Amino acid sequence: MDKDFREEFTEVIKFTPPLYKQRYQFVKDLVEKYKPKKVADLGCADCRLLWMLKFCSCIEVLAGLDICASVMKEKMHTLSPLPVDYLQPSERSLTVTLHHGSIAHKDPCMLGFDLVTCIELIEHLEESELKKFPEVVFGFMAPSMVVISTPNSEFNPLLPGVVLYRHPDHKFEWNQAQFQSWALDTAKCYDYSVEFTGVGHPPPGMENVGFCTQIGVFVRKYPQTSESLPSEEHPEAVYKTVFKAVYPSLKDEKYLQNAVVSEVIFTAQNIKHHLMSKLEKDDDDDPERKSRVQPSVDYFPDYLRKLVVDQTLEPFVSGNEVCIPLVTIFSFPKVNRLCGTFEKLCKLIAGKVPLSSDGSAVVFNTEHE
């Protein structure tokens, strides 16, 4: 390449957003498109990609692996649930685990993943590790999809300050032909297909240089996963788990119960509030009405009235108690969606919400909120 031409570009090449963010975004876009439930990031370093992925609502299991425990521990706290996750548990379940170990070794905790990402990992592997990598990732883990990114050495002359490799820990950097040949051989050997793309466009007129980061997206051609291996064929665990977070989820009965109890009380209080204010207003308009405490559905605003279909299910005041039938509460969309069945509603609120003696209605005192 002509030196002057090259220098002209080294001044201007600056990726926006930065290249590492473009790589993470590439993975995130793939996740949004293919919706894998279980994702493992190999060579996860400071867990930044994992942190981004925890917001993808399709993911239920996230795992990270790195040979360097200290780099993983730096920011692993960012993978812990936040107070808001406890206040409003999500409908999906999510478990995030970090393992300390080498991709050169097989560990059963790496089985059953749908997507495995290896972002800027392979160029950090020693020759012996790189040799074992295909068998561990494609042969043993055998996920439906693997994403591998690595520097494209053809781009290096355009990057300011790069003499041999982009990072002192890189053991090699491949040009496009080298990466593609390795990837195609690996794909063929383990029955995957592979497509090549990348992030970090070359400057106009230099398209033959290729992307700054080259990416191979591998898709497994056969249907089953290694999870179907008989358990005696599983290797022994060799990785050390350094972090595990189980996010609160409505799939967990404990959190579901909290959510249902709060929603039932909120709904019942709302109904009581409308009922009491309507009764008060009518008492003011017609003092003789005080003795007639059974309201009609007309007492409710439109959105409540639509829900109180059967008039025998109307809330009513008896003495100093307001009774709100459970069937009415169950007809509210949020309660209904949370519980699924009326039986489940009864089961979840038993002993947690004040009920009438036959258990058919929520009972509140007329005085207190």
Positions in the binding site for ligand SAH (CB under 6 A): 20, 43-45, 65-68, 71, 102-104, 119-121, 124-125, 129
State which residue has the least CB distance to ligand SAH: 43
Return the exposure string of 91-130: e unless at least 16 CB atoms fall within 10 Å of the residue's CB, then b: eebbebbbbbbbbbbbbbbbbbbbbbbbbbbbbbbeeebb
Cβ proximity to ligand SAH: between 8 and 126 the closer is: 126
**Which is nearer to ligand SAH, 130 or 268 (by Cβ)?**
130
Please check whether residue 23 is in contact with residue 119, taking contact to mean a CB–CB distance below 8 angstroms.
Answer: yes
Shortest Cβ 306–ligand SAH spacing (Å): 53
Tokens of 118: 């290896």
Least distance between ligand SAH and beta carbon 23 (Å) = 6
Whether omega for the bond prior to residue 301 falls within 30 degrees of 0, making it cis, is: no
Please identify, using beta-carbon distances, which residue of 168 and 287 lies nearer to ligand SAH. Answer: 168
**Cβ-based nearer residue to ligand SAH, 107 or 263:** 107
What's the number of CA atoms in the CB half-sphere (13 Å) around residue 310? 9
Query: What tokens does 234 get?
Result: 């599983």
Label the pairing between strands 321-325 and 145-151. Answer: unpaired
Q: Please state the closest distance from residue 330 (CB atom) to ligand SAH, in A.
A: 48
* DSSP3 helix / strand / coil % (the chain, rounded to 5): 45, 20, 35
In the complex, the smallest distance separating the C-beta of residue 207 from ligand SAH, rounded to whole angstroms, is 25
The DSSP symbol for 144 reads: S
Nearer to ligand SAH, 47 or 353 (CB): 47
- Shorter beta-carbon distance to ligand SAH: residue 118 or 271: 118
State which residue, 146 or 322, has the beta carbon closest to ligand SAH: 146
The DSSP annotation for 100-115 comes to: ES-TTS--GGG-S-SE
Query: Closest separation between CB of residue 1 and ligand SAH, Å?
Result: 27
Q: In Å, what is the CA distance from 107 to each residue of 94, 100, 136, 177?
A: 21, 11, 9, 32
Task: Kindly tell me which of 67 and 304 has the beta carbon lying closer to ligand SAH.
Answer: 67
- Compare residues 129 and 154 and give the one whose CB is closer to ligand SAH: 129
User: Rounded CA gap, 338 and 340, in Å?
Assistant: 6
Give me the least distance between CB of 309 and ligand SAH, in Å please.
Answer: 56
Nearest distance, CB of residue 363 and ligand SAH, angstroms:
57
Q: In angstroms, what is the minimal distance from the CB of 125 to ligand SAH?
A: 6
First vs last C-alpha separation in the chain = 79
Rounded least distance, CB 117 to ligand SAH, Å:
8
The values of phi and psi at residue 135, to 5°, are -65, -40
Measured from the Cβ of residue 251, the count of other Cβ atoms closer than 10 Å reads 14
CB of 49 to ligand SAH, least distance (A): 6
Q: Are 315 and 271 in contact (CB under 8 A)?
A: yes
Nearer to ligand SAH, 119 or 313 (CB): 119
List the 38-42 sheet strands across, edge first.
Answer: 192-199, 213-220, 145-151, 115-119, 38-42, 61-66, 95-100, 240-246
